Amino acid sequence: MTQGLTLTRNGDIAELTINQPSRRNAMSFEMWEALPKLVAEVDADESVKVLVVRGAGDHFCAGADISEFETRRATAEGARLYGEHVEYAAHSLGDMRKPSIAMIQGFCIGGGCEIALACDLRFAGTTAKLGITPAKLGLVYTFSSTRQLVTAVGPSFAKYILFSGERLSAEEALRVHLVDQLFDPAELEERTLAFARTVCSRSQVSVRGAKLLVEKIKNGMDTPDEEAAELPITSVSSEDYKEGVRAFLEKRPPVFRVR
């Protein structure tokens, strides 16, 4: 356990748990500071293929710990430093090579939504509540997090969320693509981990290549740079490609070895 965050591994899947259930998993400054280090640890661990981010207890994350704001964000310099740590934490999830899934139950508010949006996918229980609330605090959401929100829900509904600060039901969050899948709360963990295992069974050459290309497109790339152009070509020389073709011709499931 590191500063209210717990990292565990179960085979190919790592689970990063926001572990402050008595505070609805609100993120302290120290937790924002620790998050990128744990994400880097997962990204460097060749035994791990997928990261699942979750909350302990009944909630995903109620956001930043606002009780710290009068000290941590009392000045413009303090607010800048705090914002940089939050932004760096979110970037660490988006920038990792491996896919990440946010498993959302209960409250996913403010900074909790920021963490969820930084993950590649968001699976939620039907009782989840999601919201982004800077308009209730006199704050302005950061550029990169606003871009993540606009990418997910479009510019008009991003404005609705940011202007109002209102919470969305899980069904409405699914409708506007703030979450990707919705499950009964009793099935959320099982269905999320089942999907994670499916991703683990696929070619990691393909999965990581796809993630990199999608991130480049999200970040505004219209025509491929050299790296993007080369990815489909270099994948042909991988052992995964050879195994995939052999398995198809032999009418059997592929067993991919590249990590």
Tokens representing residue 70 in the block: 């009068």
* Mean of the per-residue pLDDT values of the chain: 93
Nearest CA to 114 out of 128, 102, 96 is that of: 102
Entry pTM: 0.94
Write the pLDDT tens digit of every residue in 97-121: 999 999 999 999 999 999 999 999 9
How far is residue 237's CA from residue 230's CA, in Å, rounded to a whole number? Answer: 11
Sheet holding 168-169, edge to edge: 107-109, 129-131, 168-169
Per DSSP, the three-state class of 75 is coil
How far is residue 253's CA from residue 5's CA, in Å, rounded to a whole number? Answer: 37
Least confident of 71-75, 98-102, 204-208, 244-248: 71-75
One-letter amino acid for residue 259 of the chain? R
What the chain holds in terms of domains, given with CATH numbers, is: 5-199 (3.90.226.10), 203-249 (1.10.12)
In this predicted structure, the answer to whether residue 8 has a pLDDT above a threshold of 90 is: yes
pLDDT band at 201 (very low <50, low <70, confident <90, very high): very high
Write the pLDDT tens digit of every residue in 16-71: 999 999 999 999 999 999 999 999 999 999 999 999 999 999 999 999 888 888 78
In 10 A of CB 192, how many CB atoms?
25
Write the pLDDT tens digit of every residue in 214-239: 999 988 899 999 999 999 999 999 99
pLDDT band at 249 (very low <50, low <70, confident <90, very high): very high
Cα–Cα separations (whole angstroms), residue 21 to 16, 58, 77, 107, 251: 14, 7, 30, 11, 48
Segments in the chain forming alpha helices (H): 29-44, 69-72, 76-95, 111-118, 143-153, 155-164, 170-175, 185-201, 204-218, 226-234, 239-249
Write the pLDDT tens digit of every residue in 64-98: 888 888 788 778 888 888 888 888 998 899 899 99
* Predicted local confidence at residue 86, as pLDDT: 85
Tokens representing residue 130 in the block: 């999601």
- pLDDT (mean) for 4-8: 96
* Predicted local confidence at residue 1, as pLDDT: 59
Nearest 5 degrees, angle CA 67-CA 73-CA 79?
A: 140
pLDDT band at 257 (very low <50, low <70, confident <90, very high): confident
